[in-house]
Amino acid sequence: MIPLERYPKEITLRDDSKVVLRPMIPGDADGLWNFLQQLPEIDKSHFHEDVDRREVVERWAKKLDYETALPILAIRNDRIVGTATLYRNKTGWKQRVGIVRILIAPDQRHLGLGTAMIREIRHLGEKVALNYLLAEVIEEQQAAVRALERMGFEKMVVYRNFVNDRRGHLHNLVVLLHRMSGLEKEMFY
Protein backbone atom coordinates (compact mmCIF):
# COMPACT_ATOMS: atom_id res chain seq x y z
CA MET A 1 0.00 0.00 0.00
CA ILE A 2 1.19 3.46 -0.82
CA PRO A 3 1.29 5.69 2.29
CA LEU A 4 -0.93 8.74 1.84
CA GLU A 5 -1.27 10.00 5.40
CA ARG A 6 0.70 13.15 4.55
CA TYR A 7 -2.27 14.44 2.54
CA PRO A 8 -3.89 16.89 2.32
CA LYS A 9 -0.69 18.92 2.47
CA GLU A 10 -0.63 22.69 2.19
CA ILE A 11 2.38 24.33 0.60
CA THR A 12 3.34 27.96 0.05
CA LEU A 13 4.60 29.07 -3.35
CA ARG A 14 7.08 31.81 -4.18
CA ASP A 15 4.31 34.41 -4.46
CA ASP A 16 3.10 33.47 -0.95
CA SER A 17 -0.04 31.85 -2.35
CA LYS A 18 -1.21 28.57 -0.81
CA VAL A 19 -1.79 25.36 -2.70
CA VAL A 20 -3.18 22.12 -1.31
CA LEU A 21 -1.72 18.81 -2.51
CA ARG A 22 -3.82 15.66 -2.30
CA PRO A 23 -4.51 12.48 -4.28
CA MET A 24 -7.17 12.67 -6.98
CA ILE A 25 -10.61 11.28 -6.12
CA PRO A 26 -13.54 10.38 -8.43
CA GLY A 27 -15.22 13.73 -7.72
CA ASP A 28 -12.31 15.56 -9.38
CA ALA A 29 -13.41 14.73 -12.93
CA ASP A 30 -14.79 18.22 -13.67
CA GLY A 31 -11.80 19.99 -12.13
CA LEU A 32 -9.37 17.81 -14.03
CA TRP A 33 -11.23 18.36 -17.28
CA ASN A 34 -11.04 22.15 -16.79
CA PHE A 35 -7.34 21.88 -15.95
CA LEU A 36 -6.51 19.81 -19.01
CA GLN A 37 -8.32 22.22 -21.31
CA GLN A 38 -5.98 25.05 -20.20
CA LEU A 39 -2.85 23.16 -21.14
CA PRO A 40 -0.94 24.02 -24.31
CA GLU A 41 -1.06 21.45 -27.11
CA ILE A 42 2.46 20.22 -26.45
CA ASP A 43 1.56 19.24 -22.86
CA LYS A 44 -1.36 17.13 -24.07
CA SER A 45 0.73 15.25 -26.61
CA HIS A 46 2.15 12.60 -24.31
CA PHE A 47 -1.24 11.22 -23.22
CA HIS A 48 -2.15 7.85 -24.69
CA GLU A 49 -5.72 8.99 -25.06
CA ASP A 50 -7.41 12.12 -26.38
CA VAL A 51 -7.80 14.36 -23.33
CA ASP A 52 -10.04 16.69 -25.30
CA ARG A 53 -12.75 14.04 -24.97
CA ARG A 54 -14.61 14.51 -21.73
CA GLU A 55 -15.55 10.83 -21.41
CA VAL A 56 -11.85 9.94 -21.30
CA VAL A 57 -11.29 12.15 -18.25
CA GLU A 58 -14.47 10.90 -16.59
CA ARG A 59 -13.34 7.30 -17.05
CA TRP A 60 -9.95 8.08 -15.49
CA ALA A 61 -11.64 9.60 -12.46
CA LYS A 62 -13.97 6.60 -12.07
CA LYS A 63 -11.26 3.96 -12.43
CA LEU A 64 -8.60 5.31 -10.09
CA ASP A 65 -6.06 2.72 -8.98
CA TYR A 66 -3.36 4.34 -6.87
CA GLU A 67 -1.19 1.22 -7.07
CA THR A 68 -0.66 1.71 -10.79
CA ALA A 69 -1.20 5.45 -11.24
CA LEU A 70 -1.25 7.84 -8.32
CA PRO A 71 -2.25 11.35 -9.40
CA ILE A 72 -1.45 14.06 -6.86
CA LEU A 73 -3.39 17.25 -7.53
CA ALA A 74 -2.33 20.78 -6.66
CA ILE A 75 -5.42 22.81 -5.81
CA ARG A 76 -5.55 26.56 -5.44
CA ASN A 77 -8.86 28.13 -4.42
CA ASP A 78 -10.82 25.04 -5.56
CA ARG A 79 -9.10 25.05 -8.94
CA ILE A 80 -6.69 22.31 -10.06
CA VAL A 81 -3.46 24.06 -11.07
CA GLY A 82 -1.11 21.10 -11.34
CA THR A 83 -0.88 17.33 -11.39
CA ALA A 84 1.97 14.96 -10.63
CA THR A 85 1.37 11.31 -11.40
CA LEU A 86 3.47 8.37 -10.31
CA TYR A 87 2.97 5.36 -12.60
CA ARG A 88 4.05 1.91 -11.43
CA ASN A 89 3.97 -1.66 -12.68
CA LYS A 90 2.64 -4.17 -10.15
CA THR A 91 4.77 -6.97 -11.54
CA GLY A 92 7.51 -7.54 -14.06
CA TRP A 93 11.04 -6.29 -14.51
CA LYS A 94 10.08 -2.62 -14.19
CA GLN A 95 8.13 -2.95 -10.96
CA ARG A 96 10.83 -0.94 -9.15
CA VAL A 97 10.85 1.81 -11.77
CA GLY A 98 8.34 4.62 -11.34
CA ILE A 99 7.38 6.91 -14.18
CA VAL A 100 6.80 10.55 -13.34
CA ARG A 101 4.55 12.92 -15.22
CA ILE A 102 4.06 16.48 -14.02
CA LEU A 103 1.81 19.12 -15.54
CA ILE A 104 1.48 22.70 -14.36
CA ALA A 105 -1.17 25.22 -15.48
CA PRO A 106 0.49 27.86 -17.70
CA ASP A 107 -0.44 30.74 -15.37
CA GLN A 108 1.01 28.94 -12.32
CA ARG A 109 4.46 28.24 -13.71
CA HIS A 110 7.73 29.63 -12.35
CA LEU A 111 6.37 29.80 -8.80
CA GLY A 112 8.09 26.64 -7.60
CA LEU A 113 5.02 24.41 -7.90
CA GLY A 114 6.70 22.06 -10.38
CA THR A 115 9.68 21.65 -8.07
CA ALA A 116 7.40 21.00 -5.10
CA MET A 117 5.56 18.34 -7.14
CA ILE A 118 8.87 16.66 -8.01
CA ARG A 119 9.68 16.57 -4.28
CA GLU A 120 6.32 14.93 -3.55
CA ILE A 121 6.73 12.23 -6.18
CA ARG A 122 10.29 11.59 -5.06
CA HIS A 123 9.04 11.17 -1.49
CA LEU A 124 6.30 8.76 -2.56
CA GLY A 125 8.75 6.83 -4.70
CA GLU A 126 11.00 6.37 -1.67
CA LYS A 127 8.08 5.15 0.40
CA VAL A 128 7.11 2.44 -2.07
CA ALA A 129 10.72 1.31 -2.39
CA LEU A 130 11.28 2.22 -6.01
CA ASN A 131 14.80 1.94 -7.37
CA TYR A 132 14.42 4.58 -10.05
CA LEU A 133 12.13 7.38 -11.12
CA LEU A 134 11.98 8.00 -14.84
CA ALA A 135 10.80 11.22 -16.45
CA GLU A 136 10.32 11.91 -20.14
CA VAL A 137 10.15 15.54 -21.18
CA ILE A 138 9.99 17.29 -24.53
CA GLU A 139 13.27 19.17 -24.96
CA GLU A 140 11.50 22.51 -25.43
CA GLN A 141 10.30 22.29 -21.81
CA GLN A 142 13.65 23.49 -20.52
CA ALA A 143 12.35 24.79 -17.18
CA ALA A 144 11.01 21.31 -16.41
CA VAL A 145 14.27 19.65 -17.48
CA ARG A 146 16.33 22.00 -15.30
CA ALA A 147 14.00 21.55 -12.31
CA LEU A 148 14.26 17.76 -12.60
CA GLU A 149 18.05 17.99 -12.84
CA ARG A 150 18.21 20.25 -9.79
CA MET A 151 16.26 17.61 -7.88
CA GLY A 152 18.75 14.89 -8.71
CA PHE A 153 17.43 13.54 -12.00
CA GLU A 154 20.16 12.78 -14.50
CA LYS A 155 19.75 13.34 -18.21
CA MET A 156 20.35 9.89 -19.69
CA VAL A 157 19.58 10.35 -23.35
CA VAL A 158 18.05 12.77 -25.82
CA TYR A 159 16.21 11.13 -28.70
CA ARG A 160 16.25 13.46 -31.71
CA ASN A 161 12.97 13.99 -33.60
CA PHE A 162 11.55 11.09 -31.65
CA VAL A 163 8.02 11.99 -30.58
CA ASN A 164 5.29 13.77 -32.44
CA ASP A 165 2.76 16.23 -31.13
CA ARG A 166 -0.90 16.03 -32.06
CA ARG A 167 -0.24 17.99 -35.23
CA GLY A 168 2.43 15.58 -36.36
CA HIS A 169 5.44 17.82 -35.66
CA LEU A 170 8.48 16.01 -34.34
CA HIS A 171 10.23 16.88 -31.09
CA ASN A 172 13.32 15.79 -29.20
CA LEU A 173 12.59 13.65 -26.14
CA VAL A 174 14.75 13.96 -23.02
CA VAL A 175 14.83 10.92 -20.73
CA LEU A 176 15.87 11.60 -17.13
CA LEU A 177 16.47 9.11 -14.33
CA HIS A 178 16.57 9.55 -10.59
CA ARG A 179 18.36 6.89 -8.58
CA MET A 180 16.50 6.37 -5.31
CA SER A 181 18.27 6.22 -1.96
CA GLY A 182 17.25 2.60 -1.27
CA LEU A 183 19.13 1.41 -4.32
CA GLU A 184 22.43 2.19 -2.64
CA LYS A 185 21.61 -0.40 0.03
CA GLU A 186 20.53 -3.11 -2.43
CA MET A 187 22.51 -6.31 -2.79
CA PHE A 188 23.44 -7.39 -6.25
CA TYR A 189 24.26 -10.96 -7.16
Partner 1 sequence: MNCPICGGEHLPAGGRRGRTTSSGGGTCPYKGEAYIGLRAGHDQIYFGRWRRMDATSIDLRRACRQLERLLHEISAALETEDIPAARSDLGKAFEALQTADPGEEGPEALRYMDHALSYAHRVIGDLLHEKGLPPHAPGDFAEWYDAGEVPFREDW
What residues line the site for partner 1 (CB under 8 A)?
9-14, 16, 104, 109-116, 119, 122-123, 126-127, 143-144, 146-147, 150-152, 180-182, 184
CA distance 117 to 83: 8
Give whichever of 11 and 64 is closer to partner 1, judged by the CB atom: 11
Give whichever of 122 and 171 is closer to partner 1, judged by the CB atom: 122
CB distance 52 to 44 below 8 Å: yes
Give whichever of 23 and 182 is closer to partner 1, judged by the CB atom: 182
First to last CA, the chain: 28
Angle subtended at Cα 8 by Cα 143 and Cα 106, rounded to the nearest 5 degrees? 25
Give whichever of 16 and 78 is closer to partner 1, judged by the CB atom: 16
Least distance (Å) from partner 1 to the CB of residue 85?
16
Least distance (Å) from partner 1 to the CB of residue 43?
13
Give whichever of 61 and 104 is closer to partner 1, judged by the CB atom: 104
CB distance 22 to 8 below 8 Å: yes
Q: How far is CA 32 from CA 58, 86, 87, 140, in A?
A: 9, 16, 18, 24
CA distance 126 to 135: 16
Least distance (Å) from partner 1 to the CB of residue 141?
9
Least distance (Å) from partner 1 to the CB of residue 132?
13
> Pairing between strand 97-104 and 132-138?
parallel
Least distance (Å) from partner 1 to the CB of residue 2?
15
